[in-house]
Structure 1
Amino acid sequence: MEGTGKRPWSDLPPEILSMIGDRLHTRMDVLRFRGVCSSFRSSIPRPGHDASRFPFRIPTNTPRSALFLRASTVYAVETPDGTASSGRARWLLKLEESEPGRMRILSLFSRQRIAYLPHEFPEVLDSLQFRIVEICREYTLEYGGGTGGLVQGVRKVVMHPDCVGSDVDRCSVYFIDGKGRLGYWRYGDENWSHIDDSQGGGYDDIAVYDSRVCVVDQFGSVSEIDSSFGLQSLSPPIYSGNHRGSGGFWKQLVVSSGDLYLVDRYTESIAYTEKTRPTCDFRVYRLDRQWGRWEEARSLGDSAFFLCKHCSFAVSALELGGGNGNCIYYTEDTYSHYSMEIVKVFSLADRSIKWLMYSDWCARLFQLPNGHA
């Protein structure tokens, strides 16, 4: 009986390749899939450039100027052997495609452009040579296609569906305004609309989880925004009561390894205004989908959470160049447009908070070496 040798990937039937291609959700995954061979390449179309889709205009009654949705992407990048002085290097990048083939690098934590790069940072990022993984997408609303600045009073923006195969004309855009109210814009609508809500606001964060748009209120209760733009409860509140004193000052949603986490930020009570209250502690909770309840997470394992101004995401320690997991990176919302970002790291292991000084953070702006202090 003749042995059965390995068959080449190019022998996969076209219908199987199409099924695989339909399940690819990021532009980078599609590019890597198409790069395997000619049969893979012919099974799915090439993804369009973000610069051809974004920014796209959203109708509004605001008399100031046109309103545009912009998109940027956070990537984990690993260099090949021999391209860095210490072997392979890993970086976290937030890139925005300003025009086809041209990118600008932004701070992970805000919309500030990066003016300094470490000397070992590569001049060209070749997707055939570098391992590049898409971590998350970030959306912002800006006046005048990015020339007029961010829309004030909008805390967080998400788009759904949000995958490489979705067309803009099938999407909806959701946001939380400065008063904690929910709003949405559906493609083809002539203006924004607010979601009818008996609470009248009080929402802290919004995220896409398990193909659903979810929001969390000030008490830690999560709801899903359904296709009719109504709210369906997914979890009970973490805290009872009618004021924030029963919990932390701010709550953010993070999706990690298929689970939904809630990060509750506690601040020192030294001032009334939000921007002058330094963080003193975090509590992290994981949603138990089977029982529909929150369980406090004492450890994040090998994951690190990044709480950024316009998005939040989780990264494995393996993507951080061997850096420590079980920690939260964040900034205090106290800097001006012209000042330096102050990045801090909270360790769930000993509940300590350490500063990453500006010079240290620039030197490791995208690469986090062993240890984080």
Structure 2
Amino acid sequence: MDPTERRSCLDLPTDILYEIGNRLDTRMDVLRFRSVCSSFRSAIPAPPRREASRFPLRIQPDLFLRASTVYALETPDGAAGSGRPRWLLMLEESAEPGCMMILSLYSQRRIAHMLHKFPKVLDSRQSRMVEICRQYTLHYSYRTKGRLFQGVQKAVMHPDAVGSDSDQCSVYFIDEGGKLGCWKYGDENWSYLEVDGSDIDQYDDIVAYDGKVWVVDSVGQILQLQTSFRLRSFSLPIYDIGVSRIGSQTPTFSRRLVVSGGDLYIVCRYTSDGPCSRGSPEKTSHYEVFRLDQRRARWEEVTSLGDSAFFLCNCCSFAVPARELDGHGEGNCIYPAEIRCINFEVFNLANRSLKWADYSDFQIGLLC
């Protein structure tokens, strides 16, 4: 055969297709892979059938783990009925196969008042969908209207690959008191981590990254969670340099982990005392962002997020490329959730400026 002759990807052996398909990270990638041709489609099963058998996943008799997906969606012109073809939204599969519930990114509540602006049918051949991240939440059974379980502030599932089986998964979570817990498939109940020889037993955030589960403790130290449900220290703490910069004697702190461009970041927020009201001069926030240098096992402060925007939501935090915001949001900015306010902060990391915006002014699809 002429070495310059190009072979079609349709000629790939079945075993190679299988290996490629099982390394895809998102359900949308799997759907696109299977849409190439019949040989690609037969190499791996469709994700909807897998997901339908996995979620909601029973943790306790009346407690279930539910999964939802954040998408950047581009619909055909006019389909959205508002002149804005791009959306940033969260979809959760309902009990009825093929049907989706649209949830608010910030409040996790079902959105009904904007459904008339959204297309009733999503056709992947006409609509461009980019999967941003997956999030997991614990809910009571549907007999109690599936309300959110308030005892857990964040949960992750591991392994989190598209092709992973439920009987191999574990659910790790941080409860409202900052304690770290775990539930393994088949367990009757969850258990809490016992910390030996450490004064620190409270954790701010947890994330699945680079095939592992990572947590950040109350002093900004990153730790890896081992399969034996033990923590291994990975980095030195982040010192609270933002306290002096914000100029408050009694600030509150929060730390969120964000995966962006294959790197792990931590966003430290320092907020002074003051009421939460639109444009309030009494309330001042300051943000510091650090990137994890795995080779040196340390945090490095960054002054730019590049072309990404960080969204800090209640049950998950994620990065969105600015091109997916279609001019309705800015790159190199941080958008935190403030569910008790009618407005929210927008922090520009380039000039370190903070402004307040009303939800109705922030037109990125169904964000409010």
Residue 273 of structure 2 is aligned to residue 269 of structure 1: yes
Report the counterpart of residue 62 of structure 1 in structure 2: none
% same residue: 59
- Runs (5+) with no aligned partner, structure 2: 276-281
Report the counterpart of residue 323 of structure 2 in structure 1: 318
- Structure 2 CA distance for partners of 1:84 and 1:144, relative to 1, 3 Å: closer
Q: Which amino acid aligns with 1:258?
A: G
Please say which of residues 130-139 and 308-317 is displaced more in the overlay. 130-139
SS at match of 2:94: strand
Shift, 1:28, TM fit: 1.4
Report the counterpart of residue 298 of structure 1 in structure 2: 303
Partners of 2:158 and 2:208 within 8 A in 1: yes
- Count of residues paired in the alignment: 352
SS at match of 1:165: coil
Report the counterpart of residue 357 of structure 2 in structure 1: 356
SS at match of 2:138: strand
Shift, 1:154, TM fit: 1.2
Q: Write the distance in 2 (CA, Å) between the matches of 1:310 and 1:260.
A: 17
Shift, 1:236, TM fit: 0.6
The residue correspondences of 1:129-168 to structure 2 (distance < 5 A) are 129-145=126-142, 147-168=145-166
SS at match of 1:40: helix
Residue from 69, 81, 85 that aligns with 1:73: 69
Residue 256 of structure 2 is aligned to residue 252 of structure 1: yes
Shift, 1:58, TM fit: 1.0
Q: Write the distance in 1 (CA, Å) between the matches of 2:262 and 2:115.
A: 33
Q: Which amino acid aligns with 1:134?
A: E
Shift, 1:320, TM fit: 1.3
Report the counterpart of residue 111 of structure 2 in structure 1: 114
Using the size of structure 1 for normalisation, the TM-score is 0.85
Q: Write the distance in 2 (CA, Å) between the matches of 1:77 and 1:235.
A: 37
Shift, 1:189, TM fit: 1.3
Q: 4+ residue runs of structure 1 moved beyond 4 angstroms?
A: 1-6, 80-88, 243-248
Partners of 2:107 and 2:339 within 8 A in 1: no
SS at match of 1:249: strand
Shift, 1:131, TM fit: 1.9
Shift, 1:92, TM fit: 1.2
Q: Write the distance in 1 (CA, Å) between the matches of 2:274 and 2:354.
A: 18
The residue correspondences of 1:330-369 to structure 2 (distance < 5 A) are 330-335=336-341, 341-361=342-362, 363-366=363-366
Deviations along 1:55-92, one digit per CA (max 9) or x if unpaired, are 12113xxxxx7111111110111235786799983221
Q: Write the distance in 1 (CA, Å) between the matches of 2:222 and 2:131.
A: 26
Report the counterpart of residue 193 of structure 2 in structure 1: 195
Report the counterpart of residue 28 of structure 1 in structure 2: 28
Aligned-pair Cα RMSD in Å: 3.0
Residue from 87, 93, 100 that aligns with 1:91: 87
Report the counterpart of residue 278 of structure 2 in structure 1: none
Report the counterpart of residue 338 of structure 1 in structure 2: none
Partners of 1:223 and 1:233 within 8 A in 2: yes
Shift, 1:110, TM fit: 2.2
Q: Which amino acid aligns with 1:249?
A: F
Shift, 1:263, TM fit: 0.3
Deviations along 1:302-344, one digit per CA (max 9) or x if unpaired, are 1000000000000111111144200011122425xxxxx5333
Partners of 1:118 and 1:364 within 8 A in 2: no
Shift, 1:8, TM fit: 3.2
Q: Write the distance in 1 (CA, Å) between the matches of 2:121 and 2:218.
A: 44
Report the counterpart of residue 279 of structure 2 in structure 1: none
Please say which of residues 203-212 and 124-133 is displaced more in the overlay. 124-133
Using the size of structure 2 for normalisation, the TM-score is 0.86
- Runs (5+) with no aligned partner, structure 1: 60-64, 272-276, 336-340, 369-373
- Structure 2 CA distance for partners of 1:279 and 1:103, relative to 1, 3 Å: farther
Shift, 1:177, TM fit: 1.1
Shift, 1:200, TM fit: 5.3
Shift, 1:352, TM fit: 2.0
Shift, 1:96, TM fit: 0.5
SS at match of 1:41: helix
- Structure 2 CA distance for partners of 1:247 and 1:239, relative to 1, 3 Å: farther
